[in-house]
């Protein structure tokens, strides 16, 4: 006869395996190419935007950052070929840009501010052209945000 501890260990092992099966079944599959297909999306407008590299000076770690140059208010008038739109699933990016263009974060003109996003988030950059159509410029996953404040802030 086996000691009772063996039976408990067997039961815990079965419960652990079942829990892992449930957890792994909830993870997104590898077939998904974009994280922007589900959930709430936020749009940010700017003069230019790009995805660049951020290198940690304390350790040789290289990560991607979203560089937004000249953020604009969403209700502004956009001339063709003068504006890019950044679509993201991260509320922090939209909130930081809104704080800067609305004046809640006082930033001098052309000053660069950097923010950690606390995770990796998907962004899609598109240029607004004639007729309001959007032309894709790039898509990627970023960990950091760099905002270069515009020459003049509408306050």
pTM of this prediction exceeds 0.75: no
The 10s digit of each residue's pLDDT in 107-138 is 888 899 999 898 999 999 999 998 889 999 99
Chain segment 30-84, per-residue pLDDT in tens: 344 455 666 789 999 999 999 999 887 787 778 899 999 999 988 877 787 889 9
β-strand pairing of 134-148 with 61-72: parallel
Strand-strand pairing, 83-88 and 112-128: antiparallel
Helix (H, G, I), strand (E, B) or coil at 3: coil
How far apart (Å, rounded) are the C-alpha atoms in residues 104 and 51?
Answer: 25
Closest CA to 63 of 125, 1, 144: 144
């Amino acid at each position: 006869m086996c000691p009772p501890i063996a039976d408990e260990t067997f039961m815990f092992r079965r419960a652990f395996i079942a829990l892992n099966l449930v957890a792994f079944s909830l993870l997104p599959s590898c077939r998904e190419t974009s994280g922007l297909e589900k959930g709430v999306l936020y749009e940010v407008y700017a003069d230019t935007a790009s995805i660049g590299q951020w290198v940690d000076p304390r350790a040789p770690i290289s990560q991607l950052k979203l560089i937004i140059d000249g953020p604009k208010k969403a209700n502004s008038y956009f001339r063709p070929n003068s504006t890019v739109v950044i679509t993201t699933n991260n509320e922090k990016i939209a909130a930081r840009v809104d704080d800067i263009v609305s004046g809640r974060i006082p930033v001098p003109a052309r000053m660069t501010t950097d923010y950690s996003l606390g995770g990796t988030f998907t962004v899609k950059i598109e240029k607004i052209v004639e007729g309001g159509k959007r032309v894709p410029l790039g898509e990627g996953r970023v960990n950091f945000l760099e905002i270069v404040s515009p020459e003049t802030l509408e306050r």
